[in-house]
Amino acid sequence: MIKDILHLKAPGNWINDANGFIYYQGKYHLFYQHFPYAPVWGTMHWGHAVSDDLVHWEHKEVALFPTKDYDRNGVFSGSAIEKDGMLYLYYSAVRYLKEDPENIHLCPGETFETSQAMMISPDGYQFDNWGDKRQIIPVSTDMAIADAVHTRDPKVWKSGDTYYMILGSTFEGKYGRVLFYKSRDAGTWTYVNQCRDEAFGKILECPDIFKAGEGYVFIGSPMGILEDGLEYAHQSICVPVDFEEESCELELLQPSQFVDYGLDLYAPQTTLDKDGRRVMIAWMRMPYAVDAPDRNPWRGMMCLPRVVEEEAGHIYFRVHPETEQYFSKVVLQREEIDYQKPFRIKTVLKEGDMLDIGGYCIKAENDCIHTDRRRVFARKDYGRDTKEAEQYRMTSSTPPLCGRYELDIFAEPNLIEVFVNQGQYVVSNVVYGLERGISGPVEQLFQAETGRE
């Protein structure tokens, strides 16, 4: 089986959203949206990988794939819980009403319908796609409750003796909303409430809600909130919220912030790690496929796992302790870095300072951290949906930082993640053609110890 270190990458061909992220029976399980036939989006399956430590990942066989009339055109995003020692998987089931005659993996317009379904696995490794699936929330026929097309991405959790489900949806394709359902047995679900907010964009995807400190945090991916003519108008946000369990009343307490200010990240999902920390992982959108010796051309990867914490109304995304432990080898000279393997840089910039990592530039300017990837974003032609590099954002920026520019940078050949001020903000950018060499202020360099690679 294909293995990855630090960043889970497509095992060949295409991946997108993180699904079913859970610590179960002593292992981390991460499922993901997967098209196993080409490095382009197509009929969705659930790929599957496991890890002991959130660092070393091993891909398994495809876990879920279309077998039913209601999911014949895709097993879309969802989540997982443990119940009675078994793994319960929840997903959105898509059925096309029309198909593109030239590409059966696409449908013209929005001629499809979405329901919610589940599967129970006895051990997290066996998945009976014919016998163990069932539809649990049918296609909506009441627009006031849910949209028949765009209602998706069930996130399920348990509190007390009640199971809760949050779904992303839309009202008339104009206003994003979330829906809440409850269940006593994790199988029979009753609609309870919904919330609309302008922060939810036109359609809300991949909602997640969880306790953090004394309150709750909401994470979601609203569509169409950054329409500036460039790719990736859909983004991921987070915000402290009030949530009342009995009524499922949800209220956003302040303006939202981006989950990641590089604006490549999308569709995050959280779970509790083995020590009870709230940890997030998310899809890094990649416009071009990458050739590799150990797999077919691959497109799509996950960010580093991040510990989510809320302090004084601000949401922090911090480096996970397992990632800290992996980078245990101090590198004394820049010339000793192996640029084909992940490395870590710690530094503190002053206003006006610039750090150049193989052509990827980070600058402290006007009280923000700015990044520029123009030199390391070479277009690759891999099919009919190839877009020019100019259609993607080349520069990114944090909000103002009050004069503090402490950076913890994780770099590998196709991704650079910049943690600013211990996770106050994170800027993550996909890169292509990263060069050898580092110039600018560096305080510490790290790679993995031999044997941990």
Catalytic residue, chosen from 4, 17, 197, 208, is 17
**Annotation marks residue 291 as catalytic:** no
CA distance linking residue 132 with residue 115, whole number of Å: 16
The tokens of 358 are what? 């193989």
Which residues fall within 8 angstroms of residue 18, CB to CB, at 6 or more apart? 30, 31, 32, 267, 268, 269, 281, 282, 283, 302
Among 216, 197, 405, CA closest to 315: 216
- Cβ neighbours around 280 below 10 Å, total: 26
Please, are residues 36 and 60 in contact by the beta-carbon 8 Å criterion? Answer: no
| Helix, strand, or coil (residue 304) | coil
Which residues fall within 8 angstroms of residue 349, CB to CB, at 6 or more apart? 355, 362, 363, 364, 369, 405, 407, 441
Please, are residues 416 and 296 in contact by the beta-carbon 8 Å criterion? Answer: no
Burial 209-245 (b: 16+ CB within 10 A, else e): bbebeeebbbbbbbbebbeeeeebebbbbbbbbebee
Residue 346 dihedral angles phi and psi, to the nearest 5°: -115, 135
Distance of CA 145 to the CA centre of its chain: 27
Residue 302 dihedral angles phi and psi, to the nearest 5°: -105, 150
User: DSSP E strands: which ranges in 189-277?
Assistant: 190-196, 204-212, 215-222, 237-244, 249-252, 257-258, 265-272
Most distant CA atoms of the chain, gap in Å: 64
Helical (H) or strand (E) element with 360 = strand 360-365
Q: Where are the alpha helices (DSSP H) in 266-401?
A: 321-326
| Helix, strand, or coil (residue 54) | coil
Residue with tokens 């014919």: 130
Give me the amino acid identity at 109. G
Provide the annotated active-site residues.
17
